[in-house]
Amino acid sequence: MLGPENTIMSFEKAVEYGAHGLESDVQISLDKVPFLMHDYDLRRTTNILDVMPNASHEHSSFFNWDFLSTLNAGKWFSDSWIKPFFRMKPLSEADKERARNQKIPKLSELLELAQKEKKLVIFDLNAPPQSHPSRSSYIRLVVSVILDSKIEQHLIIWLPGSDRKYVRSKAPGFQHIGRLFTIEELRKENITRINVDYKRLFYNGLKEYKAANITINLYIINEPWLFSLAWCSRIHSVTTDNIQVLKKINHPYYFMTPKFYLFMWIFMDILAAVFIVAIFHFYWKRESQSEKILHGITSYTETPSTSLHDEVLEVVEIPGLLTKSDSEVIISEVVNETTAPTVYPTDDVGQLVPTEPAFEPIQAPTSEANREAILQTVLLTLEANEPTVPFVEKPPPEM
């Protein structure tokens, strides 16, 4: 976070803040020069879009060193309005100017600095593409460059997994480091140190590696809480972009003990589950009550009504009804039929023929109370003895 990645400025800043080692990424140029570059192309960390936009998508290994050495490798870091790192502090004016002038360095420049400062060197070595002239010899080429730099061999942490037998024969002092291999694979390669992504290591567990006395380096650890977690897990070293902050930490940040953290984790999970179930139950109960209310309203509206159903009825004088007083009606017998069913005769072809009404209703004078009682009786009787018209099937026409 103090300088453009894979530049001499960034390594010098790391040394200034007390780093124990320097981590980089190595590519091989078309004319067989190992140089420092993380990406497979040059668009993100150089100005190739301004210099040679048509070739910006080319693999970085398909350029000669003479061209690569002319590219600017720092303006993207100092002049970009988007910060390369979250919570990155602004650079001073002096550091901005220094970053603007950074170039792509060769591997030999990093080795020279490491030898001078007695710092460890670890790097990812990217194999060139299939059509590259150094595709089959890049391991031997890099070993040759390291030996020619006269750096002390024990300062080299050798990470590439290819051709280890040759590397051990040519440079027996290199410290070999593996990745997240099994214990059996590490023992077979005679490796006692691993370089691992912290997410994968914590997911797979530490017990086997601790039991086998494997030295562990984690990458990339940039946050103090994550650094504290690695510290409490007895991790031996970490790779970081945020050395200026982590170097100030002289003890782990104990926000809570591991047991209390586990308790709080489980407790909050249970509390969240109870809360979700309670919300579900509340809404389920409310929906059930709404359904009951709607069902009750539907049942009430579907009950047969005792209204007149928009029919205009006239009071009929029925024999057997005696008026005792203005407020009481005495019915001597239940009237089974108030009107005779209308019979619809048919003609000779089975068609229904309408007829005149059988009788004319006679309006009987009565009081208001008696009228209501008579209406109720008539309605009940009509509903119990509703006349029906038989269905007469029309015979098919004769051919």
| CATH number for position 106 | 3.20.20.190
Does residue 369 lie within any of the structural domains?
yes
Among candidate residues 256, 272, 293, the one where a domain is terminated: 256
User: Does residue 194 sit in the same domain as residue 51?
Assistant: yes
User: Does residue 240 sit in the same domain as residue 98?
Assistant: yes
Number of structural domains the chain divides into: 3
Q: Say what the pLDDT of residue 308 is.
A: 45
User: Does residue 271 sit in the same domain as residue 329?
Assistant: no
Does residue 394 lie within any of the structural domains?
no
> How far is it, in rounded angstroms, from Cα 199 to Cα 229?
12
> Which has the closest alpha carbon to 62: 39, 34, 28, 36?
28
Residues in Cβ contact with 91 at an 8 Å cutoff, skipping those fewer than 6 apart? 2, 78, 99
Q: Say what the pLDDT of residue 364 is.
A: 47
Domain that holds residue 281: 257-303
> Which has the closest alpha carbon to 13: 69, 89, 83?
89
Each residue of 168-195: pLDDT tens digit?
A: 999 999 999 999 999 999 999 999 999 9
Q: Say what the pLDDT of residue 337 is.
A: 44
DSSP code, position 175: E
Q: Which two tokens stand for residue 70?
A: 């002319």
Q: Say what the pLDDT of residue 370 is.
A: 65
Q: Say what the pLDDT of residue 358 is.
A: 47
Would strands 329-331 and 156-158 be described as parallel, antiparallel, or unpaired?
unpaired
Q: Say what the pLDDT of residue 204 is.
A: 82
User: Does residue 251 sit in the same domain as residue 261?
Assistant: no
Each residue of 77-125: pLDDT tens digit?
A: 998 888 888 888 999 999 999 999 999 999 999 999 999 999 999 999 9
Does residue 121 lie within any of the structural domains?
yes
Q: pTM of the predicted model, to two decimals?
A: 0.65
User: Does residue 248 sit in the same domain as residue 263?
Assistant: no
User: Does residue 42 sit in the same domain as residue 67?
Assistant: yes
User: Does residue 75 sit in the same domain as residue 222?
Assistant: yes
Does residue 392 lie within any of the structural domains?
no
> Which has the closest alpha carbon to 35: 96, 134, 104?
104
Does residue 398 lie within any of the structural domains?
no
Does residue 313 lie within any of the structural domains?
no
> How far is it, in rounded angstroms, from Cα 183 to Cα 44?
38
User: Does residue 65 sit in the same domain as residue 34?
Assistant: yes
Q: Say what the pLDDT of residue 380 is.
A: 66
User: Does residue 232 sit in the same domain as residue 265?
Assistant: no
User: Does residue 33 sit in the same domain as residue 149?
Assistant: yes
User: Does residue 250 sit in the same domain as residue 261?
Assistant: no
Q: Say what the pLDDT of residue 138 is.
A: 97
- Residue ranges of the chain whose pLDDT lies below 50: 306-340, 343-344, 346, 348-351, 353, 356-364, 389, 391-392
Q: What sections of the chain are H helices per DSSP?
A: 8-16, 48-51, 65-68, 75-78, 93-100, 107-117, 138-148, 164-170, 183-188, 198-204, 207-211, 224-232, 243-246, 258-302, 368-384
